[in-house]
Amino acid sequence: MKKKIMLAILSLIVLCGVALIYLYKSNAGIAVKDNVIDIQKEKVDVKQVTKEKDSNRPKVIVNFGDSIFGNTGETSEDTSISAELTKITPNKYINAAFGNTMASTRQDYMYWDSLSLVSLVNEVVKDDSDISKWNTQDASISAGVFPDKFADQLDKIKKIDFFDVDEITIGFGTNDFTKEASLFGTDVHSYSYALDNSIKKLKKEYPDIKITVISPAYRYWKNPDGTFLEDSNTREVNGYKLTDFVEESKKIAKENDVTFINNYDVINFDNKEQYFDEFDSTHQNVEGRRFLAKYLAEQMK
């Protein structure tokens, strides 16, 4: 009898041991399986937020600016500086410039202010899920105060995926100068602050994008009879010359550790007749835009 009891106890112990081993292996298997799932899921998440750029593809460069970049010419052929750069380099240049705009804003300049550098950058850095993104610009376009091509220009900018962009150039200053914007200040109504603020926002949101500041270009004024009156080397507005805006843009670029290209002396007093048309001493002619494009292409290598 005792022998049978002992055998029964031993059998029970063996069964319990087998059951424990089975449970251990099962739990271990589930844990490992779960870990594999977690790791795979983590890899998928990383892939979703990491966008590698193909080093062999043409660079994508966005040109923000005023009419110096925005001027596409008077014919069906696009002869803007951006278009000319695309023709002579392997890169893709996107013209994101609007004529008559400034880097800074003016409190009495309602619709146009929505297309200033600071306003455009404010929208560019917004998340796509933000329902307010581009609302101000859309409302301004709908007001009917801009040239028709501005609507297409804005649509083009809205479609840019800035995570695919390699470089942004910023070329403002001539309208800030002539429209009497403050050179210095502590808000977006001053050229210096507007430029600095825009660069900082872009660098924070898109740290991998190279930023290049392009200085204002030389310009001059004529008398009613077409003779030379004065140029941006001598004309003063609010006590400042356009050359002061050039120097300030250089200073801001240096302080933010971004590239600076001096575009001011390329076309100047000595060669102005070749690169400006007879009745427009602000905007370069086709030859002038091509000349500037070649210069910028060399500087941006």
User: If you average pLDDT over residues 274-301, what whole number do you get?
Assistant: 96
What band does 57 get if pLDDT is binned at 50, 70 and 90?
confident
Rounded to whole angstroms, how far apart are CA atoms 298 and 89? Answer: 10
Which amino acid makes up residue 227?
A: T
User: If you average pLDDT over residues 274-294, what whole number do you get?
Assistant: 96
Q: 0.85 exceeded by the pTM? A: no
Fold of 60-299: Rossmann fold (3.40.50)
pLDDT at residue 35, rounded to an integer: 43
User: If you average pLDDT over residues 278-289, what whole number do you get?
Assistant: 95
Rounded to whole angstroms, how far apart are CA atoms 141 and 59? Answer: 30
Instruction: Tell me the per-residue pLDDT of 4-38, one tens digit each, with 9 for 90 and over.
Output: 445 455 455 545 454 444 444 444 443 434 444 34
Structure tokens at 185: 């200040």
User: If you average pLDDT over residues 194-222, what whole number do you get?
Assistant: 98
pLDDT at residue 56, rounded to an integer: 76
User: If you average pLDDT over residues 244-260, what whole number do you get?
Assistant: 99
pLDDT at residue 24, rounded to an integer: 45
pLDDT cut 70: percent of the chain above it: 82
User: Is the confidence at residue 292, as pLDDT, over 50?
Assistant: yes
pLDDT at residue 52, rounded to an integer: 62
pLDDT at residue 244, rounded to an integer: 99
Rounded to whole angstroms, how far apart are CA atoms 243 and 79? Answer: 27
Rounded to whole angstroms, how far apart are CA atoms 280 and 220? Answer: 9
With CA atoms as reference, report the closest residue to 263 among 225, 214, 227, 297: 214
User: Is the confidence at residue 234, as pLDDT, over 50?
Assistant: yes
Instruction: Tell me the per-residue pLDDT of 77-118, one tens digit each, with 9 for 90 and over.
Output: 899 999 999 999 999 999 999 999 999 998 778 899 999 999
Structure tokens at 109: 């300049």
User: If you average pLDDT over residues 71-77, what whole number do you get?
Assistant: 79
With CA atoms as reference, report the closest residue to 216 among 253, 177, 181: 177
Residue of 21 and 266 predicted with greater confidence: 266
| Average pLDDT over the chain, rounded to an integer | 87
Range of weakest confidence among 107-116, 117-126, 166-175, 222-231: 107-116
User: Is the confidence at residue 55, as pLDDT, over 80?
Assistant: no
Residue of 5 and 301 predicted with greater confidence: 301
Structure tokens at 161: 């995926």
